[in-house]
Amino acid sequence: MSAEGVMTPDTSLDPEDILNSSLETLYDYRPITLSSTGSVFTYVFNSKDSVLTVTLLTPDTHASNWSLHASSIWASSQYLVDHLNDLHLESHIAVSSQEKVRLLELGAGAGLPGIVIAKCHPDISVTVSDYPDEQLMQTLSKNIEINRASSNCCAKAYAWGTDPGVLLPFPDTNQTPRLFDVIIAADTLWNSDLHVIFIDSLKKTLRRASGSRVHLIAGLHTGRYTLQSFLDAVSQAGFEIDFIEERECSGARKREWDVSRAEQEDEKERRNWLLWFVLKWSSVG
């Protein structure tokens, strides 16, 4: 299966668009974002049986939340969807015969991965979440609606590190909420100051089962040491690394993670790679 993302741009480019375009054209710097506020992004997913088209509005946030960098679609989120098979969702479905597999996307932004998964897998219950910014959440909810994914996909406002009850079913009853079998997130690790609360959210939302998995895809644009600090922290928080690999953003090359490459590579080289790794519980009991 293959996929292609296409941005339908606004008629007026803002300075960020102009800068990104110039970097790619003049210096061959691979862009780390694919759209900006106000643009429409169209993603075409080709499988053996059908062609799926997803249309997304790029969200905006209140000025006080611009530091979230949520007003764009990240290249890593498209990479995740381009390689959807690597989530091994069929294996989760196979062992969950009595109830739907539950999948959570953290830092969803426009919701590209979560919405595509919901459309491709109607037997998976998908929750896409992001910071409780009114404008951001309105756009995320609208993207679910316009792509007709509401039957098995919902948007929830959630701030990392807070009570995850808003993400779970039965929040106002005495029934025990069922946590998530799979968690995904694309480019959520660039700010090391947020690692602690992000890990806390993973611990509170991932179902404690041997088959539960967290898939994290991160660009190298903020440096390898930022990602290594997360790997060190998460290994001390009850998780272990089930899989880790560096991947070429546009191409087929793959290689082992090596933080020491930071000494030899420049920004242009970093933009050509991302890190895909999978977490599981160190012990289940």
Provide the whole-model pTM.
Answer: 0.87
Model confidence at 2, in pLDDT bands (50, 70, 90)? very low
Distance CA 34, CA 73 (A): 5
User: In angstroms, how far is CA 250 from the centroid of its own chain?
Assistant: 18
Q: What is the pLDDT of residues 168-209, one digit of tens each?
A: 875 555 556 789 999 999 999 999 999 999 999 999 999 999
Helices within the chain (DSSP H only): 15-27, 75-82, 89-94, 112-120, 134-146, 195-205, 224-235, 267-270
- The burial of 211, by beta-carbon neighbours within 10 Å (0-12 exposed, 13-18 middle, 19 or more buried), is given as middle
Q: What is the pLDDT of residues 12-69, one digit of tens each?
A: 444 444 344 444 444 456 677 777 777 899 999 887 677 899 999 998 877 766 666 6
Distance CA 276, CA 253 (A): 13
Nearest to 81 by CA among 187, 4, 182, 190: 4
Q: What is the pLDDT of residues 113-167, one digit of tens each?
A: 999 999 999 999 999 999 999 999 999 999 999 999 999 999 999 999 999 999 9
Nearest to 158 by CA among 132, 140, 189: 132
Contact 182, 212 (CB under 8 A): yes
Distance CA 72, CA 59 (A): 7
Nearest to 200 by CA among 241, 239, 253: 239
